[in-house]
Structure 1
Amino acid sequence: MKRLGGEVLTTENAREFSSAAKGETLEDSIRTVEGYSDIIVMRHFESGAARRAAATAGIPVINAGDGPGQHPTQALLDVYTIDREVGKLDGIKVGLVGDLANGRTVRSLAYLLAKYQDVKIYFVSPDVVKMKDDIEEYLTSKGVEWEQSADLMEVASKCNVVYQTRIQKERLGERINLYEEARGKYMVDKGVLDVMQRHAVMMHPLPRVDEITVFRIQGLPSSDRQKNGLYIRMALLKLLLVGW
């Protein structure tokens, strides 16, 4: 927003320090905030919160991540990055790896890829964090081919994009046994890179922990890719503010 010449009002950690801590509803908070702004960008800990906010507000609301639900702007920058680096979106094969149950980035990416033709998606994850039924049912309803696989090496050899995510310990709460069960099961190492197609790309939404063991590999998010997020979000802000 600052790069576009606008101003920003922030309410970071609102869950602890705003009226929400006193029991104020999300809807009342949104009605208050919209009086001071032209657009709301909201990250929230509850799945579905952005939809509730949008239904309440009289100004545009951008979902910047709603718990384990969706992360639409990340999906937009991921699709833009894939198009630039692979050269196409129709007809690609994408492997989504890691925490697919709690990873909002992979959920949104799968949803957005369904808008393109002849896409195939492979889900590679431990059973305790496998992709939820709602996304699988959505892909099926749109005629998108998808497949669960336990073989990361095989999937990596077929795909144009391998999209790796971390196991989200914070989403598993006190179920530390599930985290230990899932952690380290599917990791990208030199062996995985060696079987990937020559022009395939490795992507990661960050933050990265230990799920990629190679220190420096071609295809990890570079400064150019990270800038894609800046440009996509600037474009989205301008589109909504001008067209609203």
Structure 2
Amino acid sequence: MTGFSVKDLLSADDIDEADLADVLSRAAAIADGAAPDKTGAKMIGLFFEQESTRTRIGFDVAASRLGHHVVDVSASPGSRLGKAQGEDLEDHIRTISEYCDLIVARTQHVATVEEMARLTHLPVINGGNGIGEHPTQALVDLFTMQRRLGDVRQLSVALSCDPTARHALSFMKLLRLCPPKRFTLCLAPETKLSNVAAAVIDDLRQNGTIIDRVDNVEGALNHDVLSIQTQNASSIISGRIGDTDAAQHVEDEKFTLTAEKILRLQSKTMILNPLPRHSETDKSCDSLPNAAYFEQVRLSVPIRMAVLSRMLAGRRWAGRSRLHLQPGWPATSSPISSSLSPSVSSS
């Protein structure tokens, strides 16, 4: 895809500082009990070709609370999409565009959601596109941090997960808009970053953020925030609806967070997890005051209400036109320094 449209939210690149402030302000008002802006009942199409709990239900609930209706426009058993004597994606999207006012899509492949946005005049929200991005999850993460801890610029933030996870890239990109004091990656020494991710980290460093790297989750428990998920994202994002569940990935002990580790280190670190979790976040953590991952779930509704309300009102996104970046991951990857140095290679 060589272009983009400011009508769509496909990447964290679409969001600029003013957009972020607007969404967080709208969400905060909704979370505090203010009546959300309503534009009259609209029809929201949910196109989910991958399994989803929080994103799909979250948008459904958000739309309902705004007074809108939701319809499943996926390749369901009763749909003709993708069938031998059915119809292709182009005809399907052009058809549902005549029924709906906005589409939320989760796709198996990175380019599919971009193709959908090209095919329709409707605004499209990326609800997770393969190993691409998940911009609304990143908005939820920042909103949760802000609600509990205040200005993100004053915080130290750690990220422990597979760097190809779609939420991870969107999260790092949004941090560029409010650079934290310190940002630490918790990864195995041999783990490499894509060129895009490494460049984002370098942007943070150039904006004054101290960049560190550790290879054990305990090294991240002296931060204000730790966002953690499995180091094997393929176990989460590769499946399609109806696929047989694979055996659950068992996390390496070094990257497994337990209550024992938190208590032994007397850590006050706020723990985020976009979920679903595998074994990287032990359920023993759930009862600790550090745990904020179900608070993330609760706060995802006002964030998604805020996103829907501004997009259905015709509000555009300004970020991409300023960054001049193209969506998607590059084919090559590069290593990030394994030392605890503030210098990160983007080559």
User: 2:144 maps to what in 1?
Assistant: 81
Map 1:195-214 to 2 at 5 A. 195=265, 197-198=267-268, 200-214=269-283
Query: How many angstroms does 1:105 deviate by?
Result: 1.3
Query: How many angstroms does 1:86 deviate by?
Result: 1.2
* SS of structure 2 residue aligned to 1:63: strand
- Aligned pairs, how many? 236
User: Does the CA contact (< 8 Å) of 2:107 and 2:129 recur in 1?
Assistant: yes
Between Structure 1 and Structure 2, which shows a larger proportion of helix residues?
1
In structure 2, C-alpha distance between the alignment counterparts of 1:188 and 1:150, rounded to whole Å = 13
User: 1:153 maps to what in 2?
Assistant: 218
User: Does the CA contact (< 8 Å) of 2:271 and 2:290 recur in 1?
Assistant: yes
Amino acid at match of 1:70: E
User: 2:26 maps to what in 1?
Assistant: none
Per-residue deviation, residues 159-182 of structure 1 (Å, max 9, x unmatched): 111111023325579xx9xx67x6
* SS of structure 2 residue aligned to 1:70: coil
Query: How many angstroms does 1:128 deviate by?
Result: 6.6
User: 2:336 maps to what in 1?
Assistant: none
In structure 2, C-alpha distance between the alignment counterparts of 1:48 and 1:219, rounded to whole Å = 37
User: Does the CA contact (< 8 Å) of 1:20 and 1:29 recur in 2?
Assistant: no
Query: How many angstroms does 1:220 deviate by?
Result: 2.4
Per-residue deviation, residues 45-68 of structure 1 (Å, max 9, x unmatched): 111332332233211101111011
Amino acid at match of 1:113: L
Report % sequence identity. 25
* SS of structure 1 residue aligned to 2:131: coil
* SS of structure 1 residue aligned to 2:177: coil
RMSD (CA atoms) = 2.8
User: 1:100 maps to what in 2?
Assistant: 163
Query: How many angstroms does 1:28 deviate by?
Result: 3.5
User: Does the CA contact (< 8 Å) of 1:46 and 1:66 recur in 2?
Assistant: yes
5+ residue gaps in structure 2?
1-62, 240-245, 316-347
In structure 2, C-alpha distance between the alignment counterparts of 1:130 and 1:220, rounded to whole Å = 28
- Greater shift, 105-114 or 43-52, is seen at 43-52
Is 1:165 aligned with 2:229? Answer: yes
User: Does the CA contact (< 8 Å) of 2:144 and 2:295 recur in 1?
Assistant: no
Query: How many angstroms does 1:92 deviate by?
Result: 2.0
Match of 1:72 among 135, 138, 146: 135
Scaled by the length of structure 1, what TM-score is found? 0.83
* SS of structure 2 residue aligned to 1:48: helix
Query: How many angstroms does 1:74 deviate by?
Result: 0.7
User: 1:139 maps to what in 2?
Assistant: 201
User: 2:257 maps to what in 1?
Assistant: 188
Alpha carbons of 1:53 and 1:36: their partners in 2 closer, same or farther (altered >3 Å)? Answer: same
In structure 2, C-alpha distance between the alignment counterparts of 1:61 and 1:43, rounded to whole Å = 11
- Greater shift, 125-134 or 234-243, is seen at 125-134
User: 1:48 maps to what in 2?
Assistant: 111
Per-residue deviation, residues 142-201 of structure 1 (Å, max 9, x unmatched): 5354333213222221x111111023325579xx9xx67x64441112353133653x30
In structure 2, C-alpha distance between the alignment counterparts of 1:118 and 1:222, rounded to whole Å = 20
User: Does the CA contact (< 8 Å) of 1:189 and 1:213 recur in 2?
Assistant: yes
Scaled by the length of structure 2, what TM-score is found? 0.60
